[in-house]
Amino acid sequence: MIDRGKRNILGVQVDAIDYEAAVERIAQAAHASQPMAISALAVHGVMTGALDAVHRYRLNHFDLLTPDGQPVRWALNWLHKAGLPDRVYGPTLTIKVCERAARDGLPIYLYGSKPDVIQRFAGRLTARFPGLQIAGIQPSRFRQVTPDEKAEIVQTIRDSDARIVFVGLGCPRQEVWAYEYRDALSMPVLAVGAAFDFHAGTLAQAPPRLQRLGLEWLFRLVKEPRRLWRRYVILNPLYLSMLFLQATGLRRYDPGTGVPPAEELRYG
């Protein structure tokens, strides 16, 4: 089990952690009804914080940020000698947490994505883990919600007796959601993004070899070029150049420079 705490990657405090330790921390918080915000960050997720002081503040107030992408794991190992043998990939973390939830009798709640996707995701989870209790599902409203609607969402999830919430709204909306709902829900909130689509079977995952080589982004770019080209063609080279500046000491990226949000965005 590896849990070496938070390490600075471009001003974002990412946890140098492995699957076993991450699942254990989430399960403990679920048993204790303890608020916990979790996200698995690939390069795009890190860059949303590196380039936006307000979002950097949000991310650096998460309880757990796992290295979802191989380039993020490599950065932890390169800059901080973390010694991580593997990344902590959101879709895999989802399965491992659901396996633990089924074993421990911890009901889960699914929030986000489209109605057909979330239904298929729920069905596949219960088929894979017969003991898993899905306390409720709620698709995204694909808009900002009112304060009253937010209160209704919170009450619905709390009344379901869920102990863990999985959120799939896409980056960075799901991280905003986890940040804004964390304290009100008093349970682990996992922002896992494409895990909903991958496990529902509506979006293809990159072959394992490409994943190991850190080329999952290329697979996804080929599959969805119009939607993802800006994310990968612009942000990936920028990530590498900024990482070089941090590694050589030519620039400091201070996690303390985040700016608290002036108001809630209330994504739904």
The answer to pTM > 0.85 is yes
Q: CA neighbours within 13 Å on the CB side: how many for 128?
A: 17
d(CA 101, CA 234): 38
pLDDT attached to residue 215: 73
d(CA 200, CA 204): 10
pLDDT attached to residue 218: 67
Helix and strand tally (H, E) in the chain? 13, 8
Summarize pLDDT for 143-168 with one digit per residue, the tens.
999 999 999 999 999 999 999 999 99
Q: How far does the chain reach from its first CA to its final CA, in angstroms?
A: 35
Summarize pLDDT for 207-242 with one digit per residue, the tens.
777 677 677 766 776 767 777 667 777 888 999 999
CATH 3.40.50 fits 3-206+253-257, yes or no: yes
Q: Please report, for the chain, the start and end positions of each structural domain, with discontinuous segments joined by +.
A: 3-206+253-257
d(CA 236, CA 78): 17
> pLDDT band at 200, cuts 50/70/90?
confident
Summarize pLDDT for 64-78 with one digit per residue, the tens.
999 998 999 999 999
Tokens of 265: 């965005």
d(CA 220, CA 222): 5
Q: Is the pLDDT of residue 126 over 90?
A: yes
